[in-house]
Amino acid sequence: MALAQYQKMRRLSLAVLLLAAFVLLLFVGASGNEEVHDMVEALGLGFIVIGIVGRMWCTLYIGGRKSAEIVVTGPYSVTRNPLYVFSSIAAAGVGAQTGSVTIALLFLVGCAAAFHIVIVREESFLRDEFGPAYARYLATVPRFVPKPSLFRDEAELRVQTKLIYRTLTDGLVFFVAMPVFELIELAQASGLLPVFLRLP
């Protein structure tokens, strides 16, 4: 199966996960006072920004090169899957827009778990494609949790600007969570949507 198909599977996995989570969250609310609720939402906004900027940073290095060579510098020097790491951080930020730390953590873990399935398949493809060079990369750089001490960079990068813009546009979708969850909270507060569970 081509790498493009794996990437399509990655996007589909995330979309299905977010849709299922959204349906469940129609009937789940945050417990705790308003001050804590607002603080969790604000931290979540920070996570969304980190996720979007991180994804753009990854695209600077991997854009247009993923199926042609093994990228081992920049974010790819500290984790083999930084795009997925930053997407998971942004997903935690989306969950935090409910005002619940528990839901933010569930979004983080759920997103990382969905990506794990895709990562295992991608690794099999890349191992066949790049052989011993990729095996060395597997042996030295962690799969998911970054190891900053491994960081190394390039003096110069050749960048495809259209891919940077596409990554930014894709990332902006995470911000949709803010008005959506505010509307859900209003519907719950007015009694239009019942709340079956409250989480801290």
Q: What is the pLDDT of residue 33?
A: 85
Q: Evaluate if residue 1 carries a pLDDT over 60.
A: no
Q: What is the pLDDT of residue 7?
A: 65
Per-residue pLDDT band for 6 (boundaries 50, 70, 90) equals low
| Whole-number CA gyration radius for the chain | 18
- Average pLDDT, integer, range 147-175: 91
| Average predicted confidence (pLDDT) for the chain | 88
Q: Which residue has the higher pLDDT, 9 or 155?
A: 155
Structure-token pair, residue 176: 């949709």
Residues 53 and 108: their CA atoms lie apart, in Å, by 17
Residue 116 has a CB neighbour count (10 Å cut-off) of 14
Q: What is the pLDDT of residue 96?
A: 94
pTM of the predicted model, to two decimals? Answer: 0.87
Looking at mean pLDDT, say which of 59-63, 107-111, 144-148, 171-175 comes out highest.
Answer: 144-148
Q: Evaluate if residue 65 carries a pLDDT over 80.
A: no
Per-residue pLDDT band for 134 (boundaries 50, 70, 90) equals very high
Per-residue pLDDT band for 77 (boundaries 50, 70, 90) equals very high
Cβ partners under 8 Å of residue 134, min gap 6: 70, 126, 127
| Dihedral pair phi/psi, residue 28, rounded to 5° | -125, 140
- Average pLDDT, integer, range 152-167: 90
H/E segment holding residue 169: helix 161-172
For residue 28, give the DSSP letter.
E
